[in-house]
Amino acid sequence: MKRSIYEPIHHEFRSSVRSFVDKVVTPHSEKWDEQGLVDREAWTAAGEAGFLGIAVPEAYGGGGTPDFRFRMIMMEELCRAGANSFNAGTSVQDDLVIPYLADLGTEDQKHTWLPRLCSGVAIGSLALTEPGAGSDLRGIRSLARRDGDRWLLNGSKTFITNGILADVIVVLTRIEPAPPEGGYALFAVPTDRVGFHRGRKLNKLGLRGNDTAELSFVDIELTVADLLGTAGRGLAHVMERLPRERMSIAATSLAASVAALEWTQQYCFDRKAFGQRIGDFQATRFTLAEIATELDAATSLLDRATMLLNADELTAVDAAKAKYWITDLHQRVVDRCLQLHGGYGYILEYPIARAFVDARIQPIYGGTNEIMKEIIGRDIAHTHTPQEHR
């Protein structure tokens, strides 16, 4: 399917990104998977090339281009190379951490962190999930208790992407006493702050080159200079930014699915069995045809949502639909593509094997797909509720 969503400037950008990925990322991806960590040099190289902080205003060191299509191209090229771990890390940086600081930060916070994040000198994390609270963020137990003109933060977080390398962490916590605005707040916590501790680097099924960690906070002193947004509105601030996060996940799933199909088509028309190419068997052609058609449909869904995001018209329901449907499709695509590789699909030196395990997290994080269906279902139910009962 030809992507009419892209213009000449996007194609030029893609050429630059592809060159960067081929030179800087692909030669090191296996090493990163083995060590469970992306080298910091890759982050700074991405920053120097202008591939981090694309949407950040130039005054803060960014690209000044808030067009999500550029981020999509980054994801497509990293997934094409099978660099899913680096894609996960940079997506957290650009689509989660940076928007919180850019949207909610004070001028001091923006000038402190955005140039460093855009250059790759600093790496950021978003710490929402806790051992007892995942999709249900109202259940978090981390607590910042007011003590005069400061807060003392205590608690723990888990499944935190970039947690080992992070220099700044955007933390969602409860606050006491709770102001009239509510009982949650967001803080930008530097990782050199006394009382911050990194726990285990988690041993994951997939995305093995991305550092995912447990974190803990013990009597960390925070002041209003660390507060992001309004005290009490922390949960609301998160909900406002979840649609972009879910779009990032959906875009990654589509990019990874397209890459898996391309590798599989190449394999099927190179590999022979029973005297002919695998791709010449009708059963194989039908499978490839089904996958290609489903990906065309997914592309249309994502492209529509992307243009809504660019126009600042994307709703939580729109984002939930894209995230749920495309990440579920991603599971079916990599499974069928691996099957067409036969025994070689089970060998990790083949990219389809790594893509298969990397894909499994997509319907889970950013809110499980069951939660996405609940969001969509509630909206449907609301439209069928009599006006007097709304």
- Tell me what percent of the residues of the chain surpass a pLDDT of 90: 96
Is the predicted pLDDT of residue 385 greater than 80, yes or no?
no
Structure tokens at 114: 């955005």
185 half-sphere exposure, CB direction, 13 A CA radius: 28
- Those residues whose C-beta lies under 8 Å from the C-beta of residue 219, and which sit 6 or more positions away, are 152, 153, 154, 195
pLDDT of residue 389: 61
If one counts every other C-beta atom within 10 angstroms of the C-beta of residue 280, the result is: 14
Annotated catalytic residue within 76, 77, 130, 245 = 245
Would you call 231 exposed, middle or buried from its count of C-beta atoms within 10 A (0-12, 13-18, 19+)? Answer: buried
* CATH 2.40.110.10 is held by the domain 126-232: yes
Least confident residue range of 184-198, 211-225, 371-385: 371-385
Query: At 10, is the pLDDT very low, low, confident or very high (cuts 50, 70, 90)?
Result: very high
pLDDT digits (tens, 9 = 90+) for 300-350: 999 999 999 999 999 999 999 999 999 999 999 999 999 999 999 999 999
pLDDT of residue 384: 80
Residue 127: its H or E element = strand 124-127
Query: At 390, is the pLDDT very low, low, confident or very high (cuts 50, 70, 90)?
Result: low
Is the predicted pLDDT of residue 2 greater than 80, yes or no?
no
Task: Report pTM.
Answer: 0.96
Active site residue 12: no
Question: E strands, 177-222, where?
Answer: 184-190, 196-201, 212-222
Q: Which CATH superfamily is domain 236-382 in?
A: Butyryl-CoA Dehydrogenase, subunit A, domain 3 (1.20.140.10)
Q: What is the CA radius of gyration of the chain?
A: 22
The amino acid at residue 57 is: P
The amino acid at residue 1 is: M
Listed by start position, the domains of the chain span 8-122, 126-232, 236-382
pLDDT digits (tens, 9 = 90+) for 233-276: 999 999 999 999 999 999 999 999 999 999 999 999 999 999 99
Give which of 19, 38, 21, 42 is closest to 30, Cα–Cα.
38
Q: Which CATH superfamily is domain 8-122 in?
A: Acyl-CoA dehydrogenase/oxidase, N-terminal domain (1.10.540.10)
